[in-house]
Amino acid sequence: MDDLSIKNGSVWTGTRHERADVAVKDGTIVAVGLEPRPAAAVYDAAGRFVNPGFIDPHVHFDLDLGRLRSADDFRSGSIAAAFGGVTTFVDFLAPTDDEHDLERAYHARLEEAEDAVVDYRFHATIKNPKGDPEAYVRKMLSLGMTTLKLFTTYSDSGRRTSDDQIERLLDLSERYGFTILAHIEDDSMITMKDSYGPKDLPRSRPAAGETAEALKLAGFVEKHGGTLYMVHLSSGATLDALRDRYPHLLNRKFFIESCPHYFAFTADALSRPDGFLYTMSPALRTAAERDRLAEGFSDVYAIGTDHCPFSRAEKEHDRLRDIPMGIGGVEHAYAVLSARFGDAVIPKMTEHPALINGLADRKGRIAVGCDADLAIVRPVRERIVSDHSRGCTVWTGTDVTARIEATILRGAFAVRDGRFLGTKGNYVGRKPMI
Ligand SMILES: [Zn+2]
């Protein structure tokens, strides 16, 4: 007998919703169809959409910024994720530049993440190693990590990877088959003055800096090969420029991630009295930029939230340089984006991030043999009224058309009818790649 049957729902097939039941045993999907099967428990999903559990490939729980830490630890952040139908997230290791520090960072992060309530894995994060980065890459692969984050900016905190090292890493990506994640902003175009307030953020970090850096990195991919994933793309102009110059590489060799806030808000929010709440890096853009990004939504490969909230007191400063960058979003990405883009958002939050992050054998699809990770969605017109993150939120009051009614992690209810039911997340590792 099966452990659980999700009956009468409209089940996501990968391209559309179809009427089917989903049978679960030992945490795994064992059947999808209309043939009756006995089950110990039944969940009636009539009138509901049954989606694969969402994968958020970009969160910062328990992020150490020296004088501050992001507001959510792994437990509170992953509970918020579960309320948003997210059953797997990918967080980051602390930035390192040699293989020994990388291994230490990996074990330290595993310990920090132990309290997560949904499944997770990590991106390695590289600074700017002095010599050949091959030993670093080989260590990463031996630890079962397949994604490596780098920054083209933040030279002031020593996190910027130089162009020649990025080119070397792309050679290594081509050779070993891992994926490079890049924060794309031209470091030389970023300015910061004491006089800058929240409304100056787009001037401090201009869209043109993102476009220039994205084109440069796409050019590196054309020259060296490798696989590149551009995180948190903020500007429609950047997307248009990439599509115009590199249509043969777009979403084949380099991939685009964007975030819910770049579709929901514009830089106008930064001029409000509470504009400090809308500060993140890269910055919010003009309405015209935002609309161009939305028009290009089909070319956005994956949605990550870049979830990195702080408390209101930590954000509330007049001077831009005193405000920690980042907002929350892990709980509301699906509701916010599906209201705007419908089902087109589903692959970008399931199958695509699964493929990028080496999770596709078990996560991101409703298919026999996959983990029984499901987000059961009730179509409803309502306004977001609650947020389970510990940070302050900008999302309450947003109109949405979907509510997560239940989140199922490997066959167990993480969230049901507005209550968290106490699941335990697992680290989803890979066998060493070398
Ligand atoms: Zn981030």
Taking the centre of ligand 1 as the mean of its atom positions, its distance from the CA of residue 5, in whole angstroms, is 37
Taking the centre of ligand 1 as the mean of its atom positions, its distance from the CA of residue 306, in whole angstroms, is 5
Taking the centre of ligand 1 as the mean of its atom positions, its distance from the CA of residue 124, in whole angstroms, is 13
Give the per-residue pLDDT at 159: 84
Give the per-residue pLDDT at 154: 81
Q: Are 379 and 402 in contact (CB under 8 A)?
A: yes
Taking the centre of ligand 1 as the mean of its atom positions, its distance from the CA of residue 325, in whole angstroms, is 10
Taking the centre of ligand 1 as the mean of its atom positions, its distance from the CA of residue 21, in whole angstroms, is 37
E strand spans, 301-349? 302-303
- Span 296-323, mean pLDDT? 97
Taking the centre of ligand 1 as the mean of its atom positions, its distance from the CA of residue 190, in whole angstroms, is 17
pLDDT band at residue 131 under the 50/70/90 scheme: confident
Taking the centre of ligand 1 as the mean of its atom positions, its distance from the CA of residue 59, in whole angstroms, is 6
Taking the centre of ligand 1 as the mean of its atom positions, its distance from the CA of residue 339, in whole angstroms, is 24
Taking the centre of ligand 1 as the mean of its atom positions, its distance from the CA of residue 305, in whole angstroms, is 8
Listed residue (325, 375, 381) closest to 350, CA to CA: 375
- Span 385-409, mean pLDDT? 96
- Span 331-359, mean pLDDT? 98
Taking the centre of ligand 1 as the mean of its atom positions, its distance from the CA of residue 58, in whole angstroms, is 6
Angle between the N-to-C axes of helices 163-176 and 207-224, in degrees from 0 to 180, rounded to the nearest 10: 50
Q: List where CATH 2.30.40.10 sits in the chain.
A: 2-51+364-381+401-420
Tokens of residue 62, six digits: 């328990």
Taking the centre of ligand 1 as the mean of its atom positions, its distance from the CA of residue 327, in whole angstroms, is 10
Which CATH number is correct for 54-356, 3.40.50.150, 1.10.3720.10, 3.20.20.140, 3.30.465.10?
3.20.20.140
pLDDT band at residue 29 under the 50/70/90 scheme: very high
Taking the centre of ligand 1 as the mean of its atom positions, its distance from the CA of residue 273, in whole angstroms, is 25
Give the per-residue pLDDT at 113: 98
Taking the centre of ligand 1 as the mean of its atom positions, its distance from the CA of residue 383, in whole angstroms, is 27
Tokens of residue 314, six digits: 């930590």
274 residue type, one letter = D
> Looking at domain 2-51+364-381+401-420, what is its CATH homologous superfamily?
Urease, subunit C, domain 1 (2.30.40.10)
Model confidence pLDDT, tens digit, residues 168-205: 999 999 999 999 999 999 888 999 999 999 999 999 99
Q: List where CATH 3.20.20.140 sits in the chain.
A: 54-356
Model confidence pLDDT, tens digit, residues 134-157: 999 999 999 999 999 999 888 777
- Span 383-398, mean pLDDT? 95
Taking the centre of ligand 1 as the mean of its atom positions, its distance from the CA of residue 210, in whole angstroms, is 15
Listed residue (236, 278, 274, 230) closest to 255, CA to CA: 230
Q: Say if residue 245's pLDDT is above 90.
A: yes
Taking the centre of ligand 1 as the mean of its atom positions, its distance from the CA of residue 368, in whole angstroms, is 33
Taking the centre of ligand 1 as the mean of its atom positions, its distance from the CA of residue 308, in whole angstroms, is 7
Tokens of residue 310, six digits: 């702080």
Which whole-number Å values give the CA distances from 377 to 18, 43, 124, 285, in the listed order?
Answer: 14, 13, 33, 31
